[in-house]
Homo-oligomer: A and B are copies of this chain.
Amino acid sequence: MSGVVAADGSILHHSGRHLHANDGPGGVIRTVVSAARTSLGGIARSSLPVGIAVAAQVDPRTGTVVHAPNLGWRDVPLARRLSEELGAPVAVVNDARAATIAEWKYGAGVGATDLFLLILGTGVGGSAVMGGQLLEGATHAAGEVGHMPIIAGGRRCHCPNWGCLEAYVGGWAIAERAREAVRADPENGAALVARADGAPQITARTVFEAYRAGDLLAGRIVRETERFLADGVVGIVNAFNPSVLVMAGGLVAGMPEFLPIVESAIRARCQPSAAGARVVAARLGEDAALVGAGIVARDYLAPP
């Protein structure tokens, strides 16, 4: 997704463009350059700063993609290469951090000095603003709360650990738990299997849909997910002590009921000092990372 972000955080131009990981850095950069040229076509000054959000560990000072598991990249100097192509300054930022900056400056977290953005999607990610500054960490990876264990020695995660929050409430994990449940209880699982057109096709989305249609087994999965999520959030809020927890991602969009449940758990079970944190839904949806990349370009690059 690419676009032009105005100084007030609004999106002036917007376009979707598909990237193919197996194009390698060269191919991806060509696509990005072409998208940026399209987006910038109507803008008089082509040397406007460019921000790009990537699902990767990024060194924001150099604009290097340190490690992008989805793209299979390691140590790609993305900012430098894009800057050479575009003839404009380029900032590179991790996508969760970009979304956090966007929600903080123009979305659900406006005015907060200490906020945590929790992203519930296929994976579980996070990022924090603490004391009015984005929390980076030693290798720009702070906030990876999807990989805090909530059940020591529990379910295998996609990361090198077991029992992580993501291994229970990430989209892939909800699907996996549901597939196990229908295997263990074929009778109550039959409707969900039929809806998904076969057990292997069960996703978090089909579980949520079945739950809304009154399916018992799907209801059980959703209830368990709520409990795991509440435990994870209690840990996050105790550990980071935000004033606002912003919840983002496809699973939150699909199941807004998670918000009051999470807020109740914070009130009842967090340390008294931390238990006042408010829980709010992200406001910028899928545009958050784009807006955040624009903000980073605006604020962290020298004016053109």
Contacts and interface: CB of A to CB of B under 8 A. Distances in A.
Interface of A: 57, 66-67, 113-114, 126, 130-131, 133, 135-145, 147-153, 159-163, 227-228, 231-232, 234-236, 238-243, 268-277
A163 B153 CA distance: 14
A274 B139 contact: yes
Nearest to A146: B238
Contact of A235 (B227, B235, B269): B235
Nearest to A269: B161
A240 B142 contact: yes
B142 A113 contact: no
Nearest to A277: B138
Nearest to A238: B147
A194 to B, nearest CB: 31
A145 to B, nearest CB: 5
Contacts of A148: 148, 234-236, 238-239
Given A130-B136, A163-B231, 9 more contacts: A130-B130, A133-B133, A140-B241, A142-B240, A143-B239, A144-B271, A147-B239, A151-B151, A160-B270
Given A153-B227, A274-B139, A274-B141, A160 B130 contact: no
A132 to B, nearest CB: 11
Contacts of A162: 269
A72 to B, nearest CB: 14
A152 B268 contact: no
A145 B231 contact: no
A270 B159 CA distance: 8
Most B-side CB within 10 Å, residue of A145, A238, A275: A238
Contacts of A268: 160
Given A66-B273, A67-B272, A148-B239, A131 B141 contact: no
27 contacts: A67-B273, A114-B138, A130-B136, A130-B142, A131-B133, A133-B133, A136-B241, A137-B240, A138-B242, A138-B243, A139-B274, A140-B273, A141-B238, A144-B238, A144-B239, A144-B273, A145-B238, A147-B235, A147-B238, A148-B234, A148-B239, A153-B227, A160-B269, A160-B272, A161-B238, A161-B270, A162-B269
B276 A139 contact: yes
Contacts of A234: 147-149, 161
Contacts of A143: 239, 241
A212 B130 CA distance: 43
